[in-house]
Amino acid sequence: MKIVIIGGSFAGIRAAQLLNEACPQAEIYLIEKQNEIGFIPSSFHLLLTKQIVDKKQSHWITKERLEETSRINVLTQKSAIGLVENEVLLDNGEKVPFDQLIIATGSAQSFKRLDEAEAQHIYSVKSGTNFTELETVLAQADKVAVVGGGQVGVELAEDLTTLGKKVDLYESRNQILFRYLDEQMTEPILNEMTKSGIQLFLNEQVQVLADKNGAILESEKRKARYDVVLLANHTRPDNRLWAETIKLNDDGTIWVDDYLRTSRKDVYAIGDAIQVTFRPTQEKMYVSLVNNAIRTAQVVSQTISGKPTKDVGTYRPVGNK
């Protein structure tokens, strides 16, 4: 049996590891479009708080380590561009046949309101490509804007305030942490953030970010200049690639059944690519959390290895330790 997994983040790697143990006769291939695997989304928070001291620690596992400790074949810097029958088409023209396919392509930031593609004072904190430069820039900055009031944005705002920066946090919705907490549960957090000096702008969609000797941030209600703008806005899956071959939900996530099988035979989807069930209400929702990535990887690995298992869903836990 040949198992192909697309995506080298938490869900994809964990599925590969579990299947390596459960299916000793299987060939397992992990395909990742970046040159590294296993990036930790909260890495910059960990750097700022000295919980890690080196950019290398922003990846919880490397390609070399994964291959050394398993039978998994890791293909980096290769992007899947489609499916034809039981073959994955790669951007270099290569075709990778499979008996079982797992889509674990995760999610990414989508921010389309940048005036300049290479804005020097505007950084994403959900990618590890510019951490060294960003540390240097922040050391010289006084006034910082954080765009996005999710877990990463809230943590960063607190970290930067502790470092003596003047911090403004912008969130397009009417509450912070909306994916994880009900609105009334965020009120004590908002109070503590305000006490620490963080200025919060809720219900403000950022319209313009421009690089002009600093970053100009413009919303519908205000315009302000910052030394640095950090993009910590919410991630979304981009599943347009599969739209012609696999059923998608209205929100762009991949439709799956209780066993995380897609509408296409022998194809599964896990992690941030799918909706999960919120256990208290049985409602389907999109919740981008590591625990969902790990749990759905376990579900699929058990099913593929001959022990069909349903996904029980999530309680939306959130934490940073």
Q: Who has greater pLDDT, 125 or 93?
A: 93
Task: Please tell me whether residues 100 and 19 are part of one structural domain.
Answer: yes
Secondary structure of the chain in HEC code, one letter for each residue = CEEEEECCCHHHHHHHHHHHHHCCCCEEEEEECCCCCCECCCHHHHHHCCCCCCHHHHECCCHHHHHHCCCEEEEECCCEEEEECCEEEECCCCEEECCEEEECCCCEECCCCECCCCCCCEEECCCHHHHHHHHHHHHHCCEEEEECCCHHHHHHHHHHHHCCCEEEEEECCCCCCCCCCCHHHHHHHHHHHHHCCCEEEECCCEEEEEECCCEEEEECCCEEEECEEEECCCEECCCHHHCCCCCECCCCCECCCCCCECCCCCEEECHHHECEEECCCCEEECCCCHHHHHHHHHHHHHHHCCCCCCCCCECCCCCCC
Is the same domain home to 116 and 226? yes
pLDDT (average), residues 291-295: 94
Domain co-membership, 217 together with 266? no
Q: Is the pLDDT of residue 84 over 80?
A: yes
What is the domain count for the chain?
2
Q: Quick check: 115 pLDDT over 60?
A: no
Instruction: Pick from 59-63, 72-76, 184-188, 236-240 the range whose average pLDDT is largest.
Output: 72-76
**Same domain assignment for residues 280 and 210:** no
* pLDDT of 318: 57
* 33 and 14 within one domain: yes
Percent of the chain with pLDDT strictly greater than 70? 91
Calculate mean pLDDT across residues 104-130. 68
Does 255 fall in a domain?
Answer: yes
Confidence of residue 96 (pLDDT cuts 50, 70, 90): very high
Residues 63 and 139 reside in one and the same domain:
no
Same domain? For 160 and 207 the reply is yes
Report the CATH number that the domain containing residue 155 is assigned in CATH.
3.50.50.60
pTM for the structure as a whole: 0.87
Does 252 lie in the same domain as 217?
Answer: no
The answer as to whether 199 is a domain residue is yes
Q: Are residues 226 and 268 in the same domain?
A: no
Do 29 and 102 reside in the same domain of the chain?
Answer: yes
Q: Which pLDDT belongs to residue 46?
A: 86
User: Is the pLDDT score of 309 beyond 70?
Assistant: yes
Residue 316 in any domain: the answer is: no
Lowest mean pLDDT among 115-124, 269-278, 306-315: 115-124
